[in-house]
Amino acid sequence: MKVLMVTTSYPRFCGDSAAVFLQYLARAIGSAGHDVHVLAPNDPLADGSVADERVSIHRFEYSSVRRHRLTYGSGILPNLRASRRVYLQLPFFLTSLFVSLFILARRVRPDVIHAHWIIPTGFIAVLVGRLLGIPVITTVHGGDAFSLRSSVLRWLKKFTLNNSSIWTSNTHSTADAAMSGSDISTPMVIPMGVDVQLFSSGDRALQRSGLKEREQVVLFVGRLVEKKGCNVLIEAFGHLVRDYPGNVVLWIVGDGDERDALEALVSNMGLSQSVRFFGVQSNGYLPDIYAGSDLFVLPSIEDRKGDTEGQGVVLLEAMAGGVPIIASQVGGVEEVIEDNVSGWLIESSAPELLADRIRVCLRSPDLRAAVAERARSHVMSYDWPVVAHHFVELYKAVPG
């Protein structure tokens, strides 16, 4: 089959974390013998190093490349909220996306256009699909379901999903949020996946070379934005340090708009000697970081715009890496983690409760090992070849 994916985010260089799960999906479908094309915005950091014989990557521009500010970073909606000047790029972006997708689709003639996120890519893909007679699948990832609340955005969401040949979501929670308050057709639920082989290959000894023998590591990986709740984890960690002076550290991997505030919080709480900010790390290095940790925490919350965790791909990475997990019971997280079986679920925005759960886990190595082993067995159903097969079967079922 010939598949054309369209997205507002795609890795720009080797090791880039921008929507890296789409790169894995595209490569897995390409590895299964299908012809895959990806259309994504250009960016000053795009250097061509992610080129792959399994996937044809096409970049479009919406202004001088060095002036691109709308996509990447924290994402379109946060970028718009951060600067009113970015709004000036929006009409040029939408026009360029439409024209670029129309020209590419007419040239490639794919069997299906697969749009990731409802707005703007899903909406634009539906228009192009209608003009060219190409079926469209729209995949909802979470933020586009939880945070599209204005009347105009709700109308665009309803139009896009009801005019897609099929739409999918990564969890039932995401699907319910997308359908909330509107008469929208029911989706197929297909989760995003993980490279199990890669994330199970980490070197624990290498990553822990600078630590004391009995020092325990609590790990967070993700964008440093409000909905990830990293401030809750830091506050919880403050309680832990008093119980484990010099014997527990917190590793924070990722970057985003909240980083400066989080670093200030760490400093104000006197935790600078126990908390390390790694910044964004490549998938080539992440397996070692997971392997070097003793406990993974995803303390997600619902942010002020109503956005929350759609699925939590980092949970799958931790599972594959054999790291036991504590996660907030929000969004689609409880569809990934079964409480007391493949991890532990806790109430969100509750630092003291989180500290108590971390404390219990750090004191129970046998319990951690048992939960991690069950999680590692469970994560095999999320391996990319399995997920890609589900999407290919869906492509074949789309009426032409």
Q: Based on the domain organization, do 226 and 299 belong to the same domain? A: yes
Q: Based on the domain organization, do 139 and 212 belong to the same domain? A: no
Q: Based on the domain organization, do 131 and 80 belong to the same domain? A: yes
* Per-residue model confidence (pLDDT) at position 276: 96
| Least confident piece of the model among 36-40, 82-86, 220-224, 230-234 | 82-86
pLDDT above 90: residue 396: yes
Report, as an integer, the average pLDDT of 4-29: 94
| Least confident piece of the model among 112-126, 139-153, 267-281, 303-317 | 139-153
Give me the DSSP letters along 227-254: GG-HHHHHHHHHHHHHHSTTTEEEEEE-
pTM for this entry? 0.92
Q: Based on the domain organization, do 223 and 106 belong to the same domain? A: no
| Structural domains counted in the chain | 2
* Per-residue model confidence (pLDDT) at position 334: 94
Q: Based on the domain organization, do 212 and 143 belong to the same domain? A: no
What whole-number distance in Å separates Cα of residue 21 and Cα of residue 317? 11
Q: Based on the domain organization, do 33 and 144 belong to the same domain? A: yes
What's the pLDDT tens digit per position in 308-320? 999 999 999 999 9
CATH, residue 298:
3.40.50.2000
Q: Based on the domain organization, do 276 and 160 belong to the same domain? A: no
What whole-number distance in Å separates Cα of residue 55 and Cα of residue 327? 34
What whole-number distance in Å separates Cα of residue 6 and Cα of residue 307? 22
Q: Based on the domain organization, do 223 and 307 belong to the same domain? A: yes
CA angle at residue 116 from 43 to 381, to 5 degrees? 115
* Per-residue model confidence (pLDDT) at position 160: 96
**What rounded mean pLDDT belongs to the chain?**
93
Per-residue confidence at 79, pLDDT binned at 50, 70, 90? Answer: confident
What whole-number distance in Å separates Cα of residue 348 and Cα of residue 344? 12
Which has more confidence, 209 or 350? 350
What angle do the packed helices 20-31 and 384-397 form, to 10 degrees? 70
pLDDT above 90: residue 260: yes
Q: Based on the domain organization, do 90 and 206 belong to the same domain? A: no
pLDDT above 90: residue 365: yes
- What domain range is 208 assigned to? 196-381
pLDDT above 90: residue 373: yes
Report, as an integer, the average pLDDT of 166-178: 94
Q: Based on the domain organization, do 356 and 387 belong to the same domain? A: no
Which has more confidence, 43 or 77? 43
What whole-number distance in Å separates Cα of residue 247 and Cα of residue 218? 11
Q: Based on the domain organization, do 179 and 206 belong to the same domain? A: no
Q: Based on the domain organization, do 137 and 52 belong to the same domain? A: yes
pLDDT above 90: residue 142: no
What's the pLDDT tens digit per position in 190-218? 999 999 999 999 999 888 888 888 899 99
